[in-house]
Amino acid sequence: MSLFITSLNSGSNGNCYYIGNEREAVLIDAGISCRGTERRMNRIGLSISAVKAIFISHEHADHITGIPGISKKHQIPVYFTESTFQSSKVPIEDHLLNYFKGGQTITIGSLAIKAFTKFHDACDPQSFMVTGNQVNIGIFTDIGSVCQPLIEHFQQCHAAFLESNYCEDMLANGSYPIYLKKRISGKFGHLSNFQALELFVKYKPPHLSHLILAHLSKNNNDPLLVEKLFGEKAGSTKISVASRYQETEVYKIEYTPVILPRKAVPLKQLSLF
Ligand SMILES: [Zn+2]
Ligand SMILES: [Zn+2]
């Protein structure tokens, strides 16, 4: 009654997240090279032969650059929404191309991958929740603002990769041009440390054993700051920060009963702390 998860790489230079049971696994996004993916998996004792499918969240380069190499060499099927595939323009063999729609659940062996739409400046961006052995894992990165489906899926998770992209002060006082600051902090950009922390503090379910903060900005964030911020509010949840340079350890996520709140309170009605 467990799943194994790791971040193989996380950030604007490439994203790839592994979720699997003892026999089979899926990757969410393929934003690093085939060699980089293989090397990271080898180091932590994971086999790419277990990977039965790759699911793509959106067409930005840091989520798709590894697709042609990995899918061709290992003959792994890749799942896109139709418009994400058209926008990504990656070469892929016909028999490996598969489509899904937002709201749909796809079954790969004994894993169920549920997609749902998110706010991000891509054509049809999707978040995912992967379920196996009754364990729910959220993959929530590249999100401009928190929406109700994100809250509802977060509340079901035993572990989640959650974007904590930028520190508001570092972005505001940094050297990025105004248009880029606006894009990052806008409704269709990325989640700030504060936005991610607010989601965590207000909606953390009792069964959430692991939170892995992800997609940290190189220039506008600091992993130690993120670890401290979330560590202070962690309670019984183990906090980790995914690296933009290497894989995390493999986390074993155990099933515990999912306890859902009677009714989620809309985020805008709450004030933090
Ligand atoms: Zn990204
Ligand atoms: Zn993106």
pLDDT, one tens digit per residue, over 56-106 is 999 999 999 999 999 999 999 999 999 999 999 999 999 999 999 999 999
Q: What is the CA(236)–ligand 2 centre distance, in A?
A: 31
Contacts of residue 270, Cβ cutoff 8 Å, sequence gap at least 6: 198, 202
pLDDT at 261 (0 to 100): 83
3-state secondary structure (DSSP) of residue 211: strand
Which ligand lies nearest to the CA atom of residue 125 in the structure?
Answer: 2
Q: What is the CA(1)–ligand 1 centre distance, in A?
A: 31
Owner of token pair 């929404």: 81
Q: What is the CA(216)–ligand 1 centre distance, in A?
A: 10
Rounded Cα distance between 159 and 130, Å, is 10
Which ligand lies nearest to the CA atom of residue 31 in the structure?
Answer: 1
Q: What is the CA(125)–ligand 2 centre distance, in A?
A: 8
Q: Number of C-alpha atoms within 13 angstroms, CB side, residue 102?
A: 15
Which ligand lies nearest to the CA atom of residue 165 in the structure?
Answer: 1
Which ligand lies nearest to the CA atom of residue 63 in the structure?
Answer: 1
Q: What is the CA(262)–ligand 1 centre distance, in A?
A: 33
Rounded Cα distance between 167 and 86, Å, is 33
Strand order in the sheet with 210-214: 105-108, 111-117, 126-132, 135-140, 159-163, 210-214, 238-241
Per-residue pLDDT of the chain (273 residues; tens, 9 = 90+): 999 999 999 999 999 999 999 999 999 999 999 999 999 999 999 999 999 999 999 999 999 999 999 999 999 999 999 999 999 999 999 999 999 999 999 999 999 999 999 999 999 999 999 999 999 999 999 999 999 999 999 999 999 999 999 999 999 999 999 999 999 999 999 999 999 999 999 999 999 999 999 999 999 999 999 999 999 999 999 999 999 999 999 999 999 999 988 765 666 655 554
